[in-house]
Amino acid sequence: MPNNLGVCRRLRGLVLTLLLAIAIIACSTALPTNWFRSAEVTGTIFSPPAHTWIVDDDGPAHFHTIQEAINAANPEDTIYVKAGTYSEHVVVNKTVTLVGEEPIITIIDGGRTRNVITLTANNVTIKGFTIQNSGYSPYCGIYVYSNYSEIIDNRITNNGGGIYMSSSISNKISDNNIMNSETWGMQIVDSHSNTIINNIINNSGLQAIVISYSYGNTIYHNNFINRIQVLSWLSTNVWDDGYPSGGNYWSDYSDVDLFSGPEQDVPGSDGIWDHPYTIDANNTDRYPLVEPWTPTIKATIDIHPNALNLRSMGEWITCYIELPEGYNVSDIDIYSIRLNDTFPVSLLPKPPVPVPTEIGDYDNDTIPDLMVKFNMTELTSHIYHVLGIKHGNVTLTITGIVNETPFEGKDTIKVLLPGDIDCDGDVDPVDYILFIGSYGCSIGDQGYDPNADLESDGHIDKEDFMIFIGNYGTKL
């Protein structure tokens, strides 16, 4: 009896503990998501998990204004704003990600008063909006007093000024279209180590960009299309990305493009003016662009085979092209595709059309891939004779056009060492066993191994054996 009583007591204690735990969990999940900014328990700070808030001005959502969502959000939350026109002045004073559904249809309108967006928190992302109608200068579309934030892919239009950045470091401002500002498109004051790339600043009333008391900012691949381009005061910054990437497009600059190379002294044009664009004694765009900058889409490339014997008798190199979100591989111009800027997609002789392509999901990641093929003989000759690579790794670049926008991607394949039949980087006893196992076979035979056919004549014979012995013991 005593033993049974002890067991019952222990079971009853366990049940009570479980019920208490369930009650605590039930109570905590019943609390609102923003129940506390933090709670201190025995010296440890606990923060609620990141959350996504939905804002819609005229439909079902968590909030109907952007500011309400920011006020309710916790740090690290995401605020997704659906299409609509939001007539408000937004103050971003928390570390949040603020994302519009699409710039052209997700509009924040300042009603011609004050700054439209004021950013004072660090590590913030603002993306995907039209930001318009601030008050007249000195008010602006976005006022930035922030570090480590990103302002990307926005239309900033019809404001007193476009973007004003003050006492800020290590921010990224990219892929914005800043236009029709009353005064300047962008002004940077006492701000350092920021990256300003891929923006269009168009039709500002005064300067496209004004910089003062600022150092170490990197500014390239922007299109400055304006009557007055730049005013730099007591500042030293970097205005290009080196050669051949280039600098910025300046609509007021015209030169000649007869030479290329880092020193612009090699005959042949390269899309970069032959002489630098001088801003002042401390600021120069060394490689000003001849044409407006067009961003290149980063494609994911997978090339097969990923190990290539330069003596292979294979007919094709197969390439799978995957584009980032927002682009469709079915829109790729097949005839624009090049491998290493040299080889087009292989063509069938009659009629002259590409070797059959296919759209599928080769890597099973739910993102469509475009399959294209290149002539293996031409590529292997290029690798051996032009690139001078006999074995080891080689990086291949695929370029092309989708919806009038260039894309580029790279993949690295291995060029096999003759005799390295198992593709492990050396010619050793394992390769010898594999070679002997294929000796005497021809194409079509069950034991034929193309990696052992070192003469690539369809037969594994004494000529292949002599090549194998000559490379035995060699390593990459």
Judge whether 361 and 369 are in contact, CB under 8 Å. Answer: yes
Partner residues linked to 232 by β-bridges: 211
Which pLDDT tens digit goes with each residue over 377-386? 888 788 877 7
Q: How many CB atoms lie within 10 A of CB 425?
A: 15
Whether 9 shows a pLDDT value over 70: the answer reads no
| Cα–Cα distance for residue pair 373/358, rounded to 1 Å | 10
| Cα–Cα distance for residue pair 441/447, rounded to 1 Å | 6
Position 128, amino acid = G
Residue with tokens 């208490």: 20
What is the C-alpha radius of gyration for the chain, rounded to an integer number of angstroms?
Answer: 31
| Cα–Cα distance for residue pair 446/395, rounded to 1 Å | 33
Distance of CA 333 to the CA centre of its chain: 21
Q: What is the pTM of this model?
A: 0.64
Judged on CB neighbours under 10 Å (0-12, 13-18, 19+), 18 is exposed
Same domain membership, residue 206 and residue 83: yes
Whether 35 shows a pLDDT value over 70: the answer reads no
Domain range for 349 is: 297-415
Judge whether 66 and 98 are in contact, CB under 8 Å. Answer: yes
Which pLDDT tens digit goes with each residue over 176-229? 999 999 999 999 999 999 999 999 999 999 999 999 999 999 999 999 999 999
Same domain membership, residue 212 and residue 162: yes
What's residue 119's pLDDT?
98
Same domain membership, residue 184 and residue 50: yes
Q: Which CATH number is 108's domain given? A: 2.160.20.10
| Cα–Cα distance for residue pair 122/86, rounded to 1 Å | 24
Partner residues linked to 327 by β-bridges: none
| Cα–Cα distance for residue pair 429/437, rounded to 1 Å | 12
Same domain membership, residue 210 and residue 317: no
Same domain membership, residue 229 and residue 151: yes
Judge whether 100 and 81 are in contact, CB under 8 Å. Answer: yes
Which pLDDT tens digit goes with each residue over 439-466? 999 988 998 887 788 776 788 999 889 8
Which pLDDT tens digit goes with each residue over 331-375? 999 889 999 888 888 865 555 555 567 888 888 888 999 999 888
- Where in 120-158 does DSSP place strands (E)? 125-127, 130-132, 140-144, 150-152, 155-157
Same domain membership, residue 118 and residue 64: yes
Query: Is residue 405 assigned to a domain?
Result: yes
Percent with pLDDT over 70 in the chain: 85
Query: Is residue 421 assigned to a domain?
Result: no
Candidates 75, 179, 175, 68; CA nearest to 127 is 175
Residue 423's pLDDT band (cuts 50, 70, 90): confident
Q: Which CATH number is 315's domain given? A: 2.60.40
Query: Is residue 273 assigned to a domain?
Result: no
Same domain membership, residue 456 and residue 405: no
Query: Is residue 33 assigned to a domain?
Result: no
What's residue 41's pLDDT?
33
| Cα–Cα distance for residue pair 107/82, rounded to 1 Å | 10
3-state secondary structure of 66: helix
| Cα–Cα distance for residue pair 178/330, rounded to 1 Å | 31
Same domain membership, residue 174 and residue 222: yes
Domain count, the chain: 3
Question: pLDDT higher for 212 or 298?
Answer: 212
Tell me phi and psi for residue 457, to 5 degrees.
Answer: -110, 10
